[in-house]
Amino acid sequence: MPCNISKGKNLLTCKNLTSGIKAIFLANFEEGALIDETTSTEAGHLLNSTGSLTAAYKFELRHTTNVFTQAQTSSEDNFTTMYTPSLTFVLPNLGKEMEYQWKMMAWGRPFLFCQMNNGKYFVMGTENGCQIVGKSDLGGTIDAANGYTFTATAKETEPIFWLDAAAITDLLNIWDGGPAVTED
């Protein structure tokens, strides 16, 4: 039966795990661009290439306040399963250029690639892209918040895909290192 579990997991590993998200890359959604580049076998749930994507935009993150979760729901009545990955992330420094990028994030449904602090990468929104909502904050004191808090959410029939070495190389090749939002 194709739904049978095929491996277990040793939970008693070394205490050397690293968590957190170092950066995200957003790429404009293209129908079918990534889903044809995936594999799901005992070797892993993998993205093997960035397909036809030609550009990705990097946003560096602070190493705190960014939280990823992924919920899975199944219906016994409908025989359906859905995955809802979600990433809340903070970008500091309110400004005119970022306001425009915020609007484009909200109007589109980008693919969201996450670079973890441990060097691993995964992608959200492989089938349908991500919805991004957010808020801007400017506190009343000199040390108060000054930035944006965003939440990106996807609704998919598959969980997140982990990028293999070739897909990581592809992602870094379509990100050219600039231009970045700069505020005066």
> Taking a C-beta distance cutoff of 8 angstroms, is the pair 146, 152 a contact?
no
User: Residue 184 pLDDT > 60, yes or no?
Assistant: no
* Integer Cα distance of 112 and 167 in angstroms: 14
The model's pLDDT over 143-173, given as tens digits with 9 standing for 90+, comes to: 998 999 999 999 999 999 999 999 999 999 9
User: Residue 9 pLDDT > 70, yes or no?
Assistant: no
| Residue type at position 165 | A
User: Residue 62 pLDDT > 80, yes or no?
Assistant: yes
Of 132, 128, 142, the closest CA to residue 89 belongs to 132
How many CB atoms within 10 Å of residue 152?
25
How is residue 14 annotated by DSSP?
Answer: -
CA distances from 50 to 47, 79, 96 (A): 8, 31, 31
> Taking a C-beta distance cutoff of 8 angstroms, is the pair 81, 55 a contact?
no
Compute the CA torsion angle 74, 116, 177, 32 (nearest 10 deg). -20
Residue 108 structure tokens: 């589109």
* Integer Cα distance of 172 and 50 in angstroms: 10
Of 3-12, 77-86, 147-156, minimum mean pLDDT range: 3-12
* Integer Cα distance of 66 and 20 in angstroms: 7
pLDDT at 178: 61
Comparison of pLDDT for 7 and 99, the residue scoring more:
99
The model's pLDDT over 101-145, given as tens digits with 9 standing for 90+, comes to: 999 999 999 999 999 999 999 999 999 999 999 999 999 999 998
